[in-house]
Amino acid sequence: MRHWRLILLVIGLVGLAYLVHRFLPTQHNPLRPPDLTEPLGLATYGKLTALKYNDEMCRQKLVDAGVEFEIVAADGAEARCPLEETLHLKRSLTPYNAAPLRMTCHQMAALHIWERQVLRPQAEKIFDSPLRQIQTYGSFSCRNIAGTGTRSQHSYANAIDISGFILEDGTEIRVKDHWRERSKKGKFLGRVHKKACRLFSVTLGPDFDAAHADHFHLDMGSTETCR
C-alpha cells in the first residue's frame, strides 16, 4: 500500500514538473535556454550567469538578438591587464557615444537586455520618446578600484560606466544632475538603476559613494551589490 502512495506521489511530481516546464513563460523558466529578446523574468539573472561559462552560446545569443560585434583576440602576456578573447560592440539597437566598447560576452549580453527591455521601453513610457543615445565613460580600462589595490572589473572588460542618455526629442538625462530629482528624469534614472540590479551582479550609482556621483557602474563580476 505504501509503495502505491509513493509511486502516485512520484507520478504526480513528474507531471507537475512537466506542466511547469511546458507552460511557464520562458523568462521565468531556468531550464529554457537564454533569449536576450525576452522580457525580464525570474530566471533572467541565472541564465545570464550561465552564459558566463559558455562563450559560444553567448555569442550566438547576441547574434540572434541582432547585436553586431567583433571578436578581439586574447592579449599577449606582455599586456598589463591581459584578457582572454573578448568582444568589441559594433552595433546594438541604440548607439553609444563612445566606441569601441570592449567587453566580455556575458557583460555585453546583460547590457543588451538592459538596453532592450529597460532603457528603451522606459524612455517611451516616461517621456513618450525613443532613446537616441546612451552615454558612457567606457568599459575596458586597466586599473584598480579607486583608492584600493584591487583590480577593477573594468580591467577584465567586465564592466561599463553609464553617465546619461539622450532622447530622440533632444532631452538629456544625466546621472550627475538628475539622480534623485523629483522629475521625469529622476524617475527614469531611479527605474533603470533598480532594474539593472536584476541583470548585473554589481550596480552602483551616486548613493554608493562620491566616486559614482556622475555615473552608474554596471558589472558582471563575482560579487553582488545593488546600491
For residue 4, give the H/E element and its range: helix 2-23
User: Binding pattern to Zn ion, positions 198-217, x when CB under 5 A?
Assistant: -------------------x
**Between helices 55-64 and 105-113, what is the axis angle to 10°?**
30
Please tell me the distance from the alpha carbon of residue 108 to that of residue 91, in angstroms, as a whole number. 11
| Cell 536576450 -> residue | 36
In the bound state with Zn ion, the residue whose beta carbon lies nearer, of 59 and 217, is 217
Least distance from Zn ion to the Cβ atom of residue 159, Å: 5
In the bound state with Zn ion, the residue whose beta carbon lies nearer, of 115 and 161, is 161
**Nine-digit cell at 156?**
577584465
Please tell me the distance from the alpha carbon of residue 84 to that of residue 184, in angstroms, as a whole number. 41
In the bound state with Zn ion, the residue whose beta carbon lies nearer, of 119 and 218, is 218
Least distance from Zn ion to the Cβ atom of residue 149, Å: 17
In the bound state with Zn ion, the residue whose beta carbon lies nearer, of 69 and 200, is 200
Instruction: Provide the 3-class DSSP secondary structure of residue 72.
Output: strand
For residue 179, give the H/E element and its range: none
In the bound state with Zn ion, the residue whose beta carbon lies nearer, of 38 and 161, is 161
Least distance from Zn ion to the Cβ atom of residue 202, Å: 9
Sites for Zn ion among residues 140-169 (CB under 5 A): 159, 161
Peptide bond into 30 cis (omega under 30): no
* Strand partners for 151: 144
Number of residues that bind Zn ion (CB under 5 A): 3
**193 contacts Zn ion (rule: CB under 5 A):** no
Please tell me the distance from the alpha carbon of residue 6 to that of residue 17, in angstroms, as a whole number. 16
Peptide bond into 95 cis (omega under 30): no
In the bound state with Zn ion, the residue whose beta carbon lies nearer, of 65 and 98, is 98
In the bound state with Zn ion, the residue whose beta carbon lies nearer, of 122 and 139, is 139
Please choose, from the candidates 204, 225, 221, the residue with its C-alpha nearest in 3D space to the C-alpha of residue 49. Answer: 221
Least distance from Zn ion to the Cβ atom of residue 208, Å: 11
Please choose, from the candidates 160, 157, 13, 147, the residue with its C-alpha nearest in 3D space to the C-alpha of residue 74. Answer: 157
Least distance from Zn ion to the Cβ atom of residue 50, Å: 24
Q: Using CB positions, name the residue nearest to Zn ion.
A: 217
For Zn ion, the binding residues (CB under 5 A) are 159, 161, 217
